[in-house]
Structure 1
Amino acid sequence: MPARLEIDLDRLRANLATVRRTVAPADTLFVVKNNAYGHGLEVVAETAAAAGLTWFGSFDIDSGIRVRRAVGPQGRVFAWTTALDDESVVRAADADLDLGVGDRQYLERVIGVDRALRVHLKVDTGLRRNGVRPEHWRAFVERAAQAEASGHIRVVGLWTHIAETSDADDDDARALFVAAVETARAAGLAPRVRHLAASAAAFARPEFRDDLVRVGAFAYGIRSTGGPDLPGIGPVATLTAQVVDVTGGRATVDVGSLDGLPSALGGRVVVGTDAGPRKLVSVGVATSLIATYPDARVGDRVRVFGPGTHGEHSATTLAETIDTVGEELLVRLRPGLPRIYRGPVTPR
């Protein structure tokens, strides 16, 4: 079989169990954006729902609708990118999505469709990734409270993004968030969930967990760049390629830049083989060259990244060598690359 992404669903279930134990009593919002970080949205969402997760983060409305179809009517699906038209908001209402709302214009659009959508209001605490500026927050939540009182929306959450670059910056962001929550309550809102922490802060800073934590990369076994491996968390995906030629003690495998493998990795990393780690000499358009592999045979498998069982690095370690992040390697893989699922695919 040619190059493929092998996805260990048992490892995914184990990771999710570790995440949930770690952040409890806060609920876990499992992020499945970017086609579940390249792992395949439907199978991943179904597996997580069968494992007991009830909150999902989809990023946009279109993928949120896909999540809703995968997990059924019981799950909560949070879509936080701003919809650009009323039709999208109506589709979100039809799919029973929760919407993240981080600017006044979008709030008015959601109010205008008059479908009593569930909304999570977002304050900007310094990251500048959408969100209402603190100086405009009071007027924003007062308008939301007015719309809720008239039955046009239901404000169920307050949230923000934090940078997770330093404890000091994150502490400042959290202080702004706490103040924003108090302002919203003073305006008459009583949201059930507050959420500001993503994967790294959720694990490292218990005081940041509040009612709900958004966990994406960690659940797939993608650690933070420069951060330690986490007990109970391991890579879910292994990118494997097939040896198609052996010449001069070197093996050629059938994966290259057209498949999404960065050419900059050539000469910088090792891959895993049945004989142990071997240097990745170069990444071409459709094939790559592996060094010092004289015992290779056509048809053998090479692990480009994965859990390390054959000497390969994780996706994060590969990414660090070219100054990017682990999820970048996964989400850039071409959509048509076969995804092979290991372990039972449990229907909801």
Structure 2
Amino acid sequence: MTRPVLRVDEAVLRANIAAVTRRVEPAELMMVVKDDGYGLGARWSAEVAADAGVGWIGTYDIPTAVRLREVVGAETRLFAWVTSDDEEIADALLADVDLGVGSLDYLRRVIERAGALGVRARIHLKVDTGLHRNGLAADEWDDGVALALRAQGEGRVVLVGAWSHLAEASDAEDDDAQARFLAAVERARVLGAELPYVHLTASAATWARPELRGTLVRVGAFCYGIRSADGPDLPGIAPAAELVAMVERIEGDEVVVGIGSFDGLPSILAGRVEVGTPAGARPLRRIDPDSARVAAWEGAAVGDEVVLFGRGGSGDVVPTTLAEAIGTVGEEILCRLTAHVRREQV
């Protein structure tokens, strides 16, 4: 049997990157490649982005950033933001990876490792703006900035930025978070810090609320053509991937296709969505562990392609379309696909 295929399109990814870049100017784009490039492949995504002129690549974890250094070259900046152990800190510093630092303990450990290795760590201090996803609280901020500046004077770090996350639950909450963030940035400058990179927004807020952008923005999902759940369409943005499975057999008024829940396709999608076929959209009726059943069409044949999402014959069915049918986000539809789904770059 032929394995299901996730086809990823370099031309579409490049076009999306260009559209996002135009949208966010004069802010710089950091393209995020977490979760293995949202299931499309972090290495492939980062290579395309760097070749397209993206100056920053964002990863969740240090090991991914370290692996990408040889892919993106020496000029592209890499940013990893999860708190890590001392061995990973050392790996990051030797690979010239910028680090997001969200606690005093982590800051002290980064400074210590930089001193031991004889290198200067580039750090971005994280502000807790109320989301409580890591970050220095208001009563820690002055101590963190002062500690970083002392280490900078000693040649162990370079404090290059401040950053945070937004909840994106309401405009009012995000406005409050921005006010806290900007107050912390201003306080750092009063204490003597120069912060060329301030970044607060991810995909949705970056796109819709330019007043929240800093000098740098972190955009992942939108670069891959994944719109927000229940969000508007994105002008100039298209899905960079399509998920295809082959018809394996025909049974009565149904075709059986070679993709199932073991491949990462959520079984609860059955009866909720339509998928693309050579004859147009057809209901997805059932999802078993190793196969799925779709309403048949006239002339259906073994080997026909069924497009679960993407551009090829499935109309408006994109990852977020499926996600909305089961109350989740488009990123999950892509990221849950297993290694059994072959990735094909076109």
- TM bucket (normalised to shorter chain) is over 0.9
CA gap of 1:256–1:66, structure 2 versus 1, over 3 A, is: same
In 2, the alpha carbon distance for the partners of 1:287 and 1:305 equals: 16
Q: Please give the alpha-carbon distance, in whole angstroms, between the structure 2 residues aligned to 1:311 and 1:47.
A: 26
SS of residue matched to 1:246: strand
* Structure 2: gaps of 5 or more residues: none
The answer to whether the aligner puts 1:63 opposite 2:67 as a matched pair is: no
Are positions 1:247 and 2:251 aligned together? yes
Q: Which runs of 5+ in 1 are unaligned?
A: 343-348
Task: Please report how far the alpha carbon of residue 293 of structure 1 lies from its aligned counterpart in structure 2 after TM superposition.
Answer: 2.6
**Residue type at the aligned position of 1:145:** L
Q: Which of 139, 144, 147 is the matching residue for 1:143?
A: 147
Q: 1:186: Cα distance to partner?
A: 1.6
Pick aligned residue for 1:324 from 307, 310, 328: 328
| Secondary structure of the structure 2 residue equivalent to 1:173 | helix
TM-score, length basis structure 1: 0.96
Cα distance in structure 1, aligned partners of 2:27 and 2:294? 46
Q: Say whether residues 1:31 and 2:32 are aligned partners.
A: yes
If the length of structure 2 is used for normalisation, what is the TM-score? 0.96
For residue 270 of structure 1, the aligned residue among 262, 271, 274 is 274
> Quick check: 1:270–1:312 contact (8 Å CA) kept in 2?
no
**Match of residue 5 from structure 1:** 6
Deviation at 1:116, TM superposition (A): 1.4
Alpha-carbon shift at residue 48 of structure 1 (Å): 1.0
Identity over the aligned pairs, expressed in percent? 50
Residue matched to 1:191: 195
**Match of 1:324, SS?**
coil
Bigger CA drift: 132-141 or 117-126? 132-141
Q: C-alpha deviations, 1:282-337, integer Å up to 9, x for none?
A: 11101000013342110000000113643361100100111110000101111242
Structure-2 separation of matches of 1:313 and 1:33: 23
d(CA) in 2 for partners of 1:271, 1:311: 9
Matched residues in 2 for 1:128 and 1:279: separation? 42
Deviates more, 1:186-195 or 1:10-19: 186-195
**Corresponding residue of 2:111:** 111
| One-letter identity of the residue aligned with 2:96 | D
Once the two structures are superposed, the pairs formed by residues 17-28 of structure 1 within 5 Å of their partners are 17-28=18-29
Correspondence 1:68-83 to 2 at 5 A: 68-83=69-84
SS in 1 for 2:301: coil
Aligned equivalents of 1:220, 1:244: Cα separation in 2: 30
Secondary structure (helix, strand or coil) at the match of 1:252 reads strand
Could you say what secondary structure the match of 1:121 adopts? strand
2:100 corresponds to 1:100: yes
Q: What is the total number of aligned residue pairs between the two structures?
A: 341
Q: Which of 135-144 and 19-28 deviates more?
A: 135-144
Deviations 1:41-67 (A, max 9, x none): 111111111111110001100000122
Task: Kindly state the Cα deviation for residue 340 of structure 1 after the two structures are TM-superposed.
Answer: 0.8
Task: Report the CA distance between 1:121 and its aligned residue.
Answer: 0.3
1:220 to 224, 243, 249: 224
CA RMSD of aligned residues (A): 1.1
1:291 matched residue in structure 2: 295
Equivalents in 2 of 1:289, 1:312: separation in Å?
A: 20
Q: Aligned equivalents of 2:312 and 2:322: distance in 1?
A: 12
Amino acid at match of 1:110: V
Is contact 2:278-2:313 (8 Å) kept?
no
The answer to whether 1:171 aligns with 2:159 is: no
Q: CA deviation at 1:129?
A: 1.0
1:345 is matched with none
**Structure 2: how far apart are the matches of 1:283 and 1:294?**
22
Map of 2:134 onto structure 1 = 130
Give the equivalent residue in structure 1 for 2:239: 235
The one-character-per-residue Cα deviations of 1:113-143 (angstroms, maximum 9, x if unpaired) are 1131100000110111111112221121111
8 Å CA contact 1:58, 1:67 repeated in 2: no
The question of whether the paired residues in 2 share the 8 Å contact of 1:277 and 1:312 is answered with no
Q: Which amino acid aligns with 1:31?
A: V
Using the TM superposition, give the Cα deviation of residue 72 of structure 1 relative to its aligned residue in structure 2, in angstroms. 1.1
Matched-pair contact (CA < 8 Å) for 2:271–2:286: yes
